[in-house]
Amino acid sequence: MTDQLTKIGTWLFPLSFLLYVELHFGNADMGAAFVPAWIPFPLFWDYFTGVCILAFIISCLIGKYDKLATLLMALYVFLMIFLVHIPRAADKNDMLNIFRNIMIVGALLVYARFAAKDKRIVN
């Protein structure tokens, strides 16, 4: 029974990232505002990120390249901590986003280690 219950997590976890896809496509100007000023074409990066997150979700759901996709997603979230949230922490009290993203990176790494179906990348 617990095995069946925990298998639901392999679907719920990647599907929870759909919120971020909606945020990137549904309100692109807000997402582009998070792109640091020194990086050109913020709207492009907002849409590109949305596409990458969607590719991560699909990869996890179908089990193809899901470990690679999860590791790349962890790298992206880790970079967001340093490129976006730490610089904004002093001005905009962004500490909550820093700690939330640390938790997400941890969860992504656990997913890659224990839930990913693709075994091409060795643990």
**1-28 confidence digits (pLDDT tens):** 778 888 898 999 999 999 999 999 999 9
CA 86/CA 91 separation, integer angstroms: 10
Q: Map residue 93 onto helix, strand or coil.
A: coil
pLDDT score recorded for residue 79? 96
Whether 95 has a pLDDT exceeding 90, the answer reads no
pLDDT per position as a tens digit, 96-108: 899 999 999 999 9
pLDDT per position as a tens digit, 34-75: 899 999 999 999 999 999 999 999 999 999 999 999 999 999
Give the pTM. 0.91
pLDDT score recorded for residue 123? 64
